[in-house]
Amino acid sequence: MAFSLSNIFKQKVTKVDPEIIEQLDFKGGTKFAKNETNIVYADVEELGGFSYLKTVIIGDTSVKIKRIGCTLLFNFKNDTIKLNSDNTDIESNKIKGTNVYYTEIDFELDESDAKKINSEKVIDIQYNFKNIISIFKTI
């Protein structure tokens, strides 16, 4: 039997029960998409005359990204919109007393993209965090 330091320091992954996520009462956004263990809330907001997309991921997604941010793809039937995060530092926060994480990310959004997202049917969305891709089906 071999000894390995990587086994000692390996991050332990705990599964999140989807029922716990559904029971959480988050009133800070509109349910937009989900996958097996996460729910995405998304709303187009305006600040100082400029639109932006406010998103919150609640579930087992835990990220800590410095200096590069992330991207978000909106996939339509015949088109795709790619948005860049407003902030280059992204960090998930654990919800006290649970193994559920809360990740808030704002994205730069121009008026034409906002209209398209609100008016056309979005098939799915895709977050790209460094080397992690998370796909969510719209609700």
CATH label of the domain that carries residue 116: 2.60.40
**Does 52 map to a domain?**
yes
Task: Give percent of the chain with pLDDT exceeding 90.
Answer: 72
Question: How many domains are there within the chain?
Answer: 1
The model's pTM: 0.85
**Does 91 map to a domain?**
yes
Q: What pLDDT is attached to residue 98?
A: 87
**Does 8 map to a domain?**
no
**Does 85 map to a domain?**
yes
Say which range, 15-19, 26-30, 121-125, has the weakest mean pLDDT.
15-19
| Domain extent for 68 | 15-138
- Burial code of 37-61, b = ≥16 C-beta within 10 A, e = fewer? bbbbbbebeeeeeeebbbbbbbbbb
**Does 7 map to a domain?**
no
**Does 3 map to a domain?**
no
pLDDT value at 14 more than 70: no
Instruction: Measure CA of the first residue to CA of the last residue in the chain; give whole Å.
Output: 48
**Does 104 map to a domain?**
yes
Say which range, 15-19, 61-65, 101-105, has the weakest mean pLDDT.
15-19
Q: What pLDDT is attached to residue 10?
A: 41
**Does 10 map to a domain?**
no
Longest dimension (CA), the chain: 63
